[in-house]
Structure 1
């Protein structure tokens, strides 16, 4: 994965993805934090504090080799991916909240991702001084994550009609480039991936499932409405695996460290899809849960179902 295809192609693909995110953002999206502070705060606590702790416990439980353990923590520290918006839309979550959380997490990750990665390296690889994210490498993370988003937002502010026209082509281009780059990386490093996929499949599936579950149940337990809880679930459960791969390979310089994100990036689509159908549940089950909590959520959920059935194709 250390070829020019990945050292150049992966950052370019990620840059286009983040540019696409910026083209869809306005300052109003950040202002939405004040409108739904409770949902945002709960999601951020889960994302920034709870998940890294759970990931650390899973790494110890599965007894991963040190480099792979750091790769898992790097993945846990990565913000939600833009794919979360799609899943939230499919399962009737609050997509506007997803956009807000993705934007906010991407900004915060510039500081938290190097911190968590360095802590993981110092714990699991204490003798490897060359692997840490020093100031220069942290600036690289900033450039990879934020600059394309800022450029996209400036384009939307300057030429909103152009941004609207470019939204779909940029999304398509980013997907195509990403598929080509990842396919090339897999072919070039097939032996290494096959050697480690067995030990990584279990922990990545468990981590994804736990992330999705916490992202949904924590807001619900604290009386956040169902649509926002669905948005939180996918935002927390679907990490930006591409970002983790880029940082591991091009910033830290470790191919093996990127393997957890590579395996996760494939399996998460199936896990998230199954989880989405699971949390749809039945109207009666959700009404019983809401009644037991003494909230008014049952009526809202029933209304959601009625609207869903009315909108469903016959």
Structure 2
């Protein structure tokens, strides 16, 4: 198998299949009650989803226009900010002693909503950044169907397994979650190899916007949560949910739906940055959690849904 065949295989088979498995893994952690939590705890979920679905895309669009980016890299920013959080945000929330149930709920609801918002906003973004009449066309209905197949269907399968085989779901959930993080890391390595001729230039060009986007949105998530009186565990969840995007889905859309490697570079580089900042935040939030528990004399664990 030559390099062209290998790249085609990865783009058309490996990435969609692995993304399907990752999204099914998300479903393994979900129950119908997780969707009802938006009614039971509207403030926390509402603040998180407002940050995720409205403020994040607005900030991303502003930065993509302000920063001196190539059109393909600017579209890459939009690919990133339009996606929901993924299993990565759930895993890091658990490690940081955050409210995992809230994180899972936000991820699940955002995953459903973005199926319908991504095609519309991304289609506009292509015209805005690439110009009218661009060769990159995104049929809205066809894109929605593709996203339903790659996200909603596997999530639903995972939820059915959780409903009828809860033990199997609980045992496999942790492995699928770790697989998601590992596959994303390997995907970034693969992209770096394929794009090795431009990787340095891509990092120089997209690194600053990725870092600013990550820091600004996470800070906004944390402080809006704090201003509205949410507890530490909830603030932790929302901060990480806004900062950790489903980069695998972003890369899938760039490579499979748009067939453009340059557009995948921003999500790939953002992934490296978000892993780094999230690792720091895990230590910071874990320390704050332990200090708070010590001050309150309460040893209960807020991260009640281990991944």
Partner of 1:222: 228
Alignment correspondent of 1:235 = 241
Distance 1:14 1:138, change over 3 A: same
Q: Does 1:188 align with 2:194?
A: yes
Does the 8 Å CA contact 1:18/1:149 hold for their aligned counterparts? yes
Aligned-partner Cα distance in 2 for 1:73–1:67:
10
What residue is the counterpart of 1:30 in the other structure?
35
Q: 1:253 to 1:180 in 2, by over 3 A?
A: same
Aligned CA distance change for structure 1 residues 85 and 191 (closer, same or farther; 3 Å)? same
**Could you say what the CA RMSD is over the residues aligned between the two structures, in angstroms?**
2.5
**2:158: which partner in 1?**
152
Match of 1:51 in 2: 56
Structure-2 residue corresponding to 1:136: 142
Other structure's SS at 2:299 match: helix
What's the offset of the Cα at 1:308? 8.2
Among 230, 250, 261, the alignment partner of 1:255 is 261
TM-score calculated relative to the size of structure 1:
0.85
Alignment of 1:103-182 (within 5 A): 103-134=108-139, 135-182=141-188
Which of 89, 98, 104 is 2:103 aligned to? 98
Change beyond 3 A, Cα 1:147–1:8: same
1:28, distance to aligned residue in structure 2 (A): 1.4
Matched, 1:75 2:80: yes
Q: How many residues align?
A: 294
The unaligned stretches of length 5 or more in structure 1 are: 287-298, 310-314
Structure having the higher Rg:
1
Residues 244, 258 of structure 1: 8 Å contact kept? yes
Do 1:242 and 1:265's aligned partners in 2 also have CA atoms closer than 8 Å? no
Cα deviation 1:108-137 (Å, max 9, x = unaligned): 110111122112112112234442321112
Asked if 1 retains the 8 angstrom alpha-carbon contact of 2:80 and 2:250, the reply is: yes
Aligned partners of 1:97 and 1:231 also within 8 Å: yes
Which 10-residue stretch deviates more, 218-227 or 262-271?
Answer: 218-227
What is the match of residue 266 of structure 1? 272
